[in-house]
Chains A and B, each alone.
Chain A
Amino acid sequence: MPETVVDIRRAQPWLGTRVEIVASGGPLRAVEAAIEAAFAAIAGVHHALSAQDDDSELARVNRAALGAPQAVSQAFRDVLACALDVARESGGAFDPALGMLPAAARAVAAGSPAAPRATWRDVRLHGGAVRFARPLALDFDGIAKGYAVDRAIAALVAGGVTAACVNAGGDLRVIGPRDETVHVRTGGAQSVLLPVATIGDAALATSAYGGARRSIGGRFRTPLIEPRNRLPVMSTRTVSIVAPTCMLADALTKVVALRGRRAAATLARLGASATILTPARGTWRCTRIAGAPAATRGAD
């Protein structure tokens, strides 16, 4: 008789954070094997899309895509296509083309000072190859973690798992009949933990800005950048997004952090909704975008 398990719970450090996988719905060994495959999928995304690793596919493309089209992997295409979609839908509030230029591209950019700054519109994705029309660097920081979660879910499903939750440092996705309650940890020194949503067959991602800023070389840096003028934005918002995929939820947190209610149309078009928590004199003010509870209920 096959041994059926309730929940297998595992965690590994990936993507600079703790990645947790909870899975069930099959014989113990099969679920364990599916979790192994899911962690391997996350490791693959980590190695391909890391901005810190000079050997990553992302680093290679950033070095060479200004000169000639660069063939890229399916993972790279998936993430870039979604990033460009969100950039278009949000009027550039999310922009994957704001990475730090590699040294070679900095030299080219310095030689053409009259050229306006590059944006996501200067990234060309055609037939499995990427080319840059201006000196720029892609940065998948705000989207790769969500994509890794989606790949892990796909690996679990392929392995026969029927119910699971993958949580990569707060970007998470749930599949199966059971709804999961998600707590949000707000940003800043007065950080609190609040139950924010119950989701099923959906993804939730949060960006928590605690008003953090650092002075580097006399200029303020914050984790949030306004793409229009590339200036740091001081934010105390904690933004949670629910969307059909974790990649989409991850990218949209930045859009809502910058635009607030003005992001409502973007969210509606992409099938997402949001809750914003803002500190207000010892309490937290809650703003909802795109409908009442369960308004996003519908087909996956």
Chain B
Amino acid sequence: MRCAWLLPAGGAILAAPYAQVAHAAEYLSVDAAQRKAFPEATAFEAIVVAADVKAAIAKEAGRFVVEPRIWRVRGGDRTLGWLFVDDVIGKQELITYALALDATGAVRSLEILAYRETHGDAIRLPAWRAQFTGKRVSDPVRLDADIRNVSGATLSCRHVTEGVRRLLLIHERVLAHA
């Protein structure tokens, strides 16, 4: 066990002013998430869901933060399942995640693709969120790169659970009949 405590004991510590983004991590690109969830897939067909369906789901299960990206996963002629990429916003974190469903609509995997934390209300601004759109692991947004491991007040993943619920409703109402 090796341990070196870094903060001077006894004295008063003045915390440095916040960076706009306190902590961020990129895990998987959308391509990598597709390959990982469905290694046997031959094609991913993008699906667009009608706005009125999403509006109805938003009413009972909360608003979508972004337009969720949806693919029908093909293995030759068969539908292997469905893949969603969606964002959720917590108190101070933006989480991009990928949900994979099998052909029956059962959850096959749930992966976090990216995580960004900020201070204040920047996360609510479309312009702040937009700077991450389409970013991938090979093209990382340079943030506080030296902050690798954060310990402290636990951030809840409740918003991911709510997001998954919305996507399952899309499957139940639209994709299951497609």
Contact = CB atoms under 8 A, between A and B. Distances in A.
Interface residues of B, number: 43
Interface stretch (A58-66, A101-109, A182-190, A214-222): A182-190
A88 to B, nearest CB: 22
Given A17-B156, A187-B152, A206-B152, A293 B13 contact: no
Contact of A13 (B11, B15, B23, B160): B160
Given A12-B111, A13-B110, A192-B15, A208 B153 contact: yes
Contact of A300 (B1, B5, B95): B1
B2 interface: yes
Contacts of A286: 7-11, 13
Contacts of B151: 167, 170-172, 182-185, 196, 204-206, 240
A207 to B, nearest CB: 8
A184 B27 CA distance: 21
Which of under 10, 10 to 19, 20 to 34, or 35 or more describes the interface residues of A? 35 or more
Interface in B119-178: 146-158, 160-161
Interface string A190-225: 011111111111101110101000000000000000
Contact of A273 (B3, B149, B160): B3
Given A10-B27, A187-B152, A242 B157 contact: no
B156 A16 contact: yes
A266 interface: no
Given A167-B149, A184-B151, A285-B13, A202 B5 contact: no
A294 B4 contact: yes
Which 7 A-B pairs give the minimum distances between C-beta atoms? A185-B152, A192-B15, A11-B112, A200-B2, A208-B153, A283-B12, A13-B157
Interface of B: 1-15, 18, 22-23, 25-28, 95, 97, 110-112, 115, 146-158, 160-161
27 contacts: A10-B112, A11-B111, A13-B160, A16-B158, A17-B156, A20-B27, A169-B155, A181-B148, A181-B149, A183-B149, A185-B152, A186-B153, A195-B6, A196-B6, A198-B4, A201-B1, A208-B153, A210-B153, A238-B152, A282-B14, A285-B11, A285-B13, A286-B7, A286-B13, A287-B10, A293-B6, A294-B3
